[in-house]
Amino acid sequence: MNAWGNARYAHDDGDRTRAETVGTAPQGTGRGQRFHVIDRAQGDAQLAYAFSPERGRLYRASLKLRADRPARVEVMLRREGPPYDPYALATVQVGPQWQQVQLEGRPISEGGSSLRIAPLETGVDVWIDDVRVEPGPPQDFRPVLEQPFAPEMFGLHLMRLGMHMNWPQFDPGLVRLWDTRTMWKDLQPEPHRWDFSNTGFRRLDLYVDHIRKHSPATRILYVLGQTPQWASSAPQSHSPYGEGHAAPPRDLEDWRDYVRTLARRYAGRITHWELWNEPDYRIFYLGSVETMVEMARIAHEELKAADPRNTIVSPGLTASQGLRWLDRFLAAGGGRYVDVIGFHWYYSFHPEGLAAFIDNVRGVMRAHGVDHKPLWNTEGALGFPAKDQDGEPVHPTLAQQRGLTLRALLTMWSRGVSGFAYYFWEGRLPGEKMLTNDFKHYTESGRAYLRAAGWLKDARMVDGYRTPQGVHVVRMERGARTFRFLWSAAEPVTVRLPEAWQARRIARLDGSTGEISTDQRVVVTGAPVLIE
């Protein structure tokens, strides 16, 4: 099959492969089905069992595997629509004895799914038996984290510094340096020479000094990488930032020198380091997972030697391809060299859909024994398609611009994400941008983010659920104070608040407040309201 999951032309004889519907052998017969891969050519070979899941519901797959000789087999639950990515996967070492395999995940979209078995070696007889895919509980909103909201949850990207010298009123707990013209290629354009007065270093110093001047407690997250062309293992290869920059360095000692130089120069000032940006996309990284693990090992040595308090974040991965890459990175030992797992999740009209993505990543972390490490969304934002399905321009309403990011923050925290860097403060598109074009005033999104940060900082999420009416309810505590957020992901709903809440006041993201009527009825929309 090709990269999109369709049958592909095989070899040089022009024969066309074809997709087959496969039935299972009688359960528990011990006979099973034999799967033998002769040649992958330029595609892949997978045995697929189709099923129709419900979006967001947990599904558990179990099967037995054996092989005529030791072999690795990849097992995954995968959606059958673009981009055909897995939402649960495991790589299993099998041999002559039957081995029970189990995995679970949540479908991230509507439409069909399949359980897929893919031998990673050719010429091996792999036997499959007792295949089951069963539904589990639906998605819930009960919080994973017990601690108060961390400052790192209210982070962002500053990308236009120099065009303005402003600072967010809410003092972001995290600022990620990406697309700031401070990459390796900018800092060391010439081989084996460091010039701390060049344009790249002057710009990096500008950012570091600006952040520390306004908020010394803010964590700076520097993204390592984009290789200078002179150091690149593929100097003529294409990347969005110029030729050769997406390839790993030809000599990893150049990488060591780069990491060591930055770690020593910015010791105590830059404390958080992300290993690479989106290496699951070839436009950003052309190397192997194994090479990235070795780069992680070297970075770990140098960063911890310069300052043991340095925090290393795994390569930031994308929602559509990152799960498989993370599984391979952790299987190759990458988890030993990172303190935080980083992912990139953007959201639109239904940010609650982030929950399934996050749960699936946590499942891979759990399978590799790193689920105790923090999980961060190091790049994400509110984004809308330019046009809808009918080709009409999309214009987000003011309520949507106000409410969707708070809903995303609550969803991410409920599923265990404890750090977030919004991309980006100055923005490009309506709804996304938090500042007006002159960088002097907040947009509706910016004012709402400022207000949401004030509501959530140091507060603890105690409980969360969705009512039969489709209203999300999240209970929060800050000291002795208890308050709740309510919103409807669909149409506006009038709800009557329980008497036990003793609700007296309502606050909205547009800044308005009011007393709750004696009949305790409140209209709930897509913009969360605060009730206490």
The DSSP annotation for 266-309 comes to TTTT--EEE--B-TTSTTT--S-HHHHHHHHHHHHHHHHHH-TT
Instruction: Write out pLDDT tens, residues 168-195.
Output: 999 999 999 999 999 999 999 999 999 9
Instruction: Write out pLDDT tens, residues 25-84.
Output: 444 556 789 999 998 887 788 999 999 999 999 999 999 999 999 999 999 999 998 889
CA distance 64 to 75: 11
pTM higher than the cut 0.85: yes
Give which of 119, 131, 34, 133 is closest to 87, Cα–Cα.
133
Q: State how far the alpha carbon of 95 is from the alpha carbons of 3, 66, 100, 125, 415, in Å.
A: 29, 5, 12, 10, 36
CA distance 291 to 251: 11
Residue with tokens 């892949």: 44
Instruction: Set out the domains of the chain in order of their start, with CATH numbers.
Output: 33-135 (2.60.120.260), 159-458 (3.20.20.80), 463-531 (2.60.40.1180)
Query: Strand 125-135 vs strand 59-67: parallel, antiparallel, or unpaired?
Result: antiparallel
Q: What is the pLDDT of residue 285?
A: 98
Q: What is the pLDDT of residue 387?
A: 76
The counts of H helices and E strands in the chain are 8, 25
With a cut of 70, list the residues of the chain below it in pLDDT: 1-30
Q: What is the pLDDT of residue 30?
A: 60
In eight-state DSSP terms, residue 162 is T
Instruction: Write out pLDDT tens, residues 217-260.
Output: 999 999 999 999 999 999 999 999 999 999 999 999 999 999 99
Contact present, 352 and 108 (Cβ < 8 Å): no
Give which of 117, 49, 50, 113 is closest to 81, Cα–Cα.
113
For 181: left if phi > 0, alpha if psi spans -120 to 50, otherwise beta; the answer is left
CA distance 186 to 184: 5
Q: What is the pLDDT of residue 29?
A: 54
Helix/strand/coil for 378: strand
- The b-or-e profile of 411-432 (16+ CB within 10 A means b, else e) is bbbbbbbbbbbbbbbbbeeebb
Residue with tokens 């060391």: 188
Give which of 46, 85, 135, 120 is closest to 360, Cα–Cα.
85
Q: Helix, strand, coil proportions of the chain in percent (round to 5)? A: 25, 30, 50
Task: Quote the radius of gyration of the chain (alpha carbons, Å).
Answer: 25
* Side-chain-facing half-sphere of 359: CA atoms under 13 Å: 26
Q: What is the largest CA-CA distance in the chain?
A: 79
